[in-house]
A and B are shown apart, each in its own frame.
Chain A
Amino acid sequence: MPEPVPFSSLHRHRQRRDRLATALITAGGVGVLLAVLAIGIFLVTGVLPLFLSDNGPSLTALWQPQANVDGVVEYRWLPESLKGGGIPQVNLLPLVWGTLEAALWALVLAIPLALGAAAHSSLFMSPRLRHRIRPTLELMEAMPSVVLGFIAGLVLGPWVERHLAETFTVIAALPLGILLVAGLRRCLPGAIRHWLSLRWAALWLIPCLAGSVIVALWGASYWENLWFDGDLRAWIEIHLGLDVQARNALILGLAMGFAVMPGIYALAEDALSDVPKELCEGAQAMGATRWQTLTKVMLPVALPGIFSAVMIGAGRAVGETMIVLMASGNTALMSANPLDGLRSLASSIAIELPEAVMGSSHYRLLLLAALALFIFTFVVNTLAEVVRSRLRQRLVRQRSMR
């Protein structure tokens, strides 16, 4: 009978090493996570003295319009006024307004583009093309914002300022051009029509779009002469009483829409492709077109996912700094005119914080602006994430029930 082998203590040190490593990883991991979460704590502690001290600007001054020296009641952001003896005019509302306006214009461009692209790539696009498009749009997202800001502020802005009519014509011509192309395609002989299929439309429509842009640029001066005496800008300034700036909210929206669109696209496409295939096939088997399937069947299911995609896009647009800094003119106005400049919370921080004295009211005010951005994006993103994971759980449950 063989002697039973006792459990050796030979490998005791391995066990100890294992425990030690686990403890270290735990400490390190928790430490890193705490460091990351410290941002919120730092901002709150930095802002608090602003409200506790008496000599800073009062709370209401941050939100209510104030009379200035001339007695005109206005919203103003004049941080220099904190240094002088007078009434501090540091109203955050113009900045908040600018931030939201910029984000809004960005979304106005990004949402149709992103959702259209998501719908197209999840419904019609050839799978081969689809596998290429996604990384390409990821590259678009990775475009550094300082470059986008430079193009928008120094190239596109001045151009648009001089060519307002052309700009509006191009905007109108793009959808019309596409519909025209789609209509014309029907008249083509079968072989060419087959070659120009909807599956590959994302590629062969590019020259068509470029063509419409050229036609629009060529034709713009015609109706500008016809209706606006050859100068749309002067017409807008005189007849509508609107200011036209080279760096304005529209240009800003274009550049920021460009930056935000790929992110929304990726998440929205995920949401659409998570919709169970059987659901779509069922609808199509009943004779619905693919577009009808999308609107009637897929959209209601994927809506939370799309919502969260838009939310995350909005979060990014609100916090974007360099594009706003370079393409907005940085004038703290409360104007709804999209051709006017604006100033956002983020760009104010970037411009003013290096000059603000640490611990001064100005410094704390900018910290408050950062805190507002932090809370806004954090809440928006958490909401989006929760909605998204709920949706995913529901879909998984549905799938497992089948």
Chain B
Amino acid sequence: MKIPGHAAATGASRRWQGEGPWAWLSAAAVALSLLMLGALLVLLATRGLGHFWPADLHQLRLADGQRLIGVPVETRQLPDDSGYERRYFTANRDHQGGIWTWVAEDAIEQDRTPNDLIVLQRGRWGAFFGRLVAVVTETERFGGDRAWQALRQRLDHLEELRQQSESLRRDHILPLIRQMERMKEHSRLSEQLTELEQQALTLQRAMTGTVLVLETADGKRFEQPLESVLDAWHPNSMGSVEKLAHWSRGVWQFLSEGPRDANAAGGVWPAIFGTVLMVMLMSLLVTPFGVLAAVYLNEVAHQGRLTRWVRIGVRNLAGVPSIVYGVFGLGVFVYGIGGSLDRLFYADTLPSPTFGTGGLLWASLTLALLTLPVVIVATEEGLARIPLHQREGALALGATHFETLTRVVLPMATPAMLTGVILAVARAAGEVAPLMLVGVAKLAPQVPVDGEFPFLHLERKFMHLGYHIYDAAFHSNDVQAALPLVYATALLLVLVILVLNLTAIFLRHYLRLRHGVPVRR
């Protein structure tokens, strides 16, 4: 038997194997999302980590006779389609004014990578690309092949001196000055101080004296005092193992050092420290309160209409924009509570605020409030998933309500709470907008933890990885120069957050395996 029109229908569906184009487009939606995520991660990883790799230096001779030394960064099509131009990072800000040079590809006559080119990392003026002619000390002059060895030797020595001087300042001079500030009578102390300062001066003097004779690409020679040189290497003659070692050192310095050049160079250690400290304080605040509220909602409160509305309200607070929490933090914590604290306890330093301005404590509190719903919801889900018969089992043994809670229910809900806290931490670590209102600093002169009583300075401003990205990317003088570090910082932040989230996902998975199918409200 044949139904009219039936054949046509099968024909149409067979063309798409029964599912039609939309099925494929919907599959592409997943694929596209994954592709975007992957592309983002790959971009961050290559740019962020690639920056520390000692790239080969190219020596170019152009058609007009100009010579330059640089690292190619990008290639663009010329506007009139006549070819391509390439951007070189040529450093030497003190000699050329800029650090970038655009070169038309056609204009390049010769492109070589000679082994004797060196890179100097300097405290001022940034990097230098060129040749080392000689190292001149007060007594001797090292030229030719001996120059490089002499430079390495002197640099290692210099590093030692720098550390000595730093520890002298940090461990001896600064505490003394603080002591003097507290005490009235300090003639004996000031003698000590003079002596220490004399030592520091001697160290300073020991660093000076050596001068490098350098040659730029166009053959100009100049002298560079050694004490402002931080590091030196010659990328073109480095083997891959050497390069890897140099790369690891670069990564380590990025993680362990402070920023230079208005956040456009150097490391992010204070930002890592600030982020971690703030997040730790936040989790210390949010965990007990979040768990308390969840326990109240789920275990104590009468399960009526009001509780249901409160629960919906709490859930929705997770959707309230973070900037609104920032506004709340600024208005209530900073201006309200902080302002009152200042009037009560720090009246002598007014009008310069102590707690009445953004700081570590207010930032942690604001983020704790922001992440409270995350912890409450996760804990509540964990509590709801615990079977009734477990509670009844404990009650039937003569446990009170509270004992049942602390001995059976809460231990069983621990993974859920942990998941909530980790998710909260992951969210807080990536949150920047509210921090801009309640205490993050572009460049914090002091880390909030030091040797001075009370050691943890809750009122101080702090640096933050996320804000560092924003600041370096938008407020530095030369965005292009800061870009590699922004990539590296972004990669670091993303990695931290990915690890935290993966931990939470793993915990939740483990939790589901242990307690069966999740219960949904």
Contact = CB atoms under 8 A, between A and B. Distances in A.
Interface string B262-294: 000000000000000000000000000110110
Given A120-B29, A179-B25, A201-B30, 15 more contacts: A36-B372, A37-B313, A116-B30, A117-B33, A137-B37, A151-B43, A153-B473, A198-B23, A209-B31, A258-B40, A290-B18, A320-B321, A354-B437, A373-B324, A377-B319
Interface string B22-46: 1111111111111111101001100
B26 A116 contact: yes
Interface of A: 14-15, 17-18, 21-22, 25-26, 28-30, 32-33, 35-39, 42-43, 46, 112-117, 119-121, 123-125, 133, 135-140, 142-151, 153-155, 162, 174-175, 178-179, 181-182, 186, 198, 201-203, 205-206, 208-210, 230-231, 258, 261-262, 265, 289-291, 312, 315-316, 318-322, 325-326, 346, 349-350, 353-354, 358, 366-367, 370, 373-374, 377-378, 380-382, 385-386, 389, 392
**Residue of B27, B37, B369, B431 with highest tally of chain A CB at under 10 A:** B27
B426 interface: yes
A191 B296 CA distance: 59
A147 B427 CA distance: 13
Interface in B465-481: 466-467, 469-470, 473-474, 479
B150 interface: no
A182 B26 CA distance: 12
A386 B315 CA distance: 11
B19 interface: yes
B300 A29 contact: yes
A346 B433 CA distance: 9
B360 interface: no
Interface in B426-468: 426-427, 429-433, 436-437, 466-467
B54 interface: no
A116 B326 CA distance: 35
Nearest to B288: A28
Contact of B26 (A117, A148, A325, A381): A117
B506 to A, nearest CB: 9
16 contacts: A33-B310, A36-B373, A39-B320, A120-B29, A124-B19, A143-B37, A145-B430, A146-B430, A261-B33, A290-B18, A291-B20, A316-B321, A321-B433, A370-B323, A373-B323, A374-B324
Interface in B386-414: 400-403, 405
B305 to A, nearest CB: 13
B428 to A, nearest CB: 10
Contact of B400 (A14, A125, A203): A14
Contact of B331 (A25, A367, A380): A367
A289 B301 CA distance: 48
Contact of B466 (A30, A144, A153, A290): A144
A21 B305 CA distance: 24
Nearest to A319: B321
**Residue of A32, A148, A179, A290 with highest tally of chain B CB at under 10 A:** A32
B437 A350 contact: yes
B40 A143 contact: yes
Interface stretch (B124-132, B200-208, B491-499): B491-499
A350 B17 contact: no
B433 A206 contact: no
B34 to A, nearest CB: 6
Given A29-B292, A290-B19, A316-B319, A182 B24 contact: yes
Interface string B110-150: 00000000000000000000000000000000000000000
B81 interface: yes
Contacts of A116: 25-30
A147 B296 contact: no
B322 A202 contact: no
B304 to A, nearest CB: 15
Contact of B470 (A123, A203, A326): A326
Contacts of B473: 150, 153-154, 326
B147 to A, nearest CB: 40
Contacts of B317: 36, 39
Nearest to A363: B331
B27 to A, nearest CB: 4
B30 A144 contact: no
Contacts of A315: 319
A350 B29 contact: no
Contact of B296 (A30, A201, A354): A30
Nearest to A205: B31
B505 A135 contact: yes
Interface residues of B, number: 98
Given A36-B373, A116-B29, A377 B36 contact: no
By DSSP majority rule, is chain B's interface helix, strand, loop, or mixed? helix
**Residue of B36, B295, B331, B493 with highest tally of chain A CB at under 10 A:** B331
Contact of A378 (B34, B316, B483, B498): B316
B501 interface: yes
A46 B331 contact: yes
B160 to A, nearest CB: 38
Contact of A113 (B32, B38, B290, B335): B32
A25 B17 contact: no
A202 B313 contact: no
B494 A143 contact: yes
Given A146-B432, A178-B25, A321 B323 contact: yes
B21 interface: yes
Nearest to B335: A358
Nearest to A182: B24
A142 B323 contact: no
Contacts of A135: 505
Given A144-B497, A206-B31, A318 B321 contact: yes
A147 B316 contact: no
B292 A386 contact: no
Contact of A155 (B43, B310, B437, B505): B43
Nearest to A265: B33
A324 B293 CA distance: 33
A150 B290 CA distance: 32
B510 interface: no
Contacts of A151: 40, 43, 490
Contacts of B232: none
The 8 closest A-B pairs by CB, nearest first: A29-B296, A319-B321, A144-B430, A116-B29, A321-B433, A201-B27, A205-B31, A18-B400
Contacts of B297: 29, 33
Contacts of B33: 113, 117, 137, 140, 261-262, 265
Contacts of B400: 14-15, 17-18
Given A28-B289, A120-B23, A289-B18, A113 B321 contact: no
B76 A146 contact: no
A160 B474 CA distance: 18
B25 A175 contact: yes
Contacts of B474: 153, 326
B327 interface: yes
A402 to B, nearest CB: 19
Nearest to A382: B316
B312 interface: yes
Given A15-B400, A367-B331, A346 B466 contact: no
A133 B30 contact: yes
B328 interface: yes
A85 B314 CA distance: 44
**Residue of A29, A115, A179, A210 with highest tally of chain B CB at under 10 A:** A29
Contacts of A137: 33, 37
Contacts of A326: 470, 473-474
A32 B320 contact: no
Nearest to B31: A205
